[in-house]
Amino acid sequence: MKVKGIAQKTLNLSELKTIRIMLPPLACQTQLATFVEHVEAQKARMKKGLELMELEYKSLMQKCFNGEMY
């Protein structure tokens, strides 16, 4: 069953159409998108580095338990 409408009973479609939504200028949107891309790339590098450190730690612990470390 498909339902049309909104959950807020005191609003109707004509009232919603009158609401103005402010958007930042395109230059600001682009700047934010670029910043987010850089942050996401840095997060990916850090995650990969953490995974590598965990593997190295496990390897070192295995060597310690096998008596390979003095």
pLDDT by 10s per residue, the chain, length 70? 555 655 666 778 888 888 889 999 999 999 999 999 999 999 999 999 999 999 999 999 999 998 887 6
Q: What is the distance between the alpha carbons of residues 5 and 12, in angstroms, rounded to a whole number?
A: 8
Tokens matching residue 62: 């295995």
Which pLDDT does position 7 carry in this prediction?
Answer: 65
Structure confidence at residue 16 (pLDDT) = 83
Using an 8 Å Cβ cutoff, are 69 and 63 in contact?
yes
Residues 43, 20: Cα–Cα separation, whole Å:
35
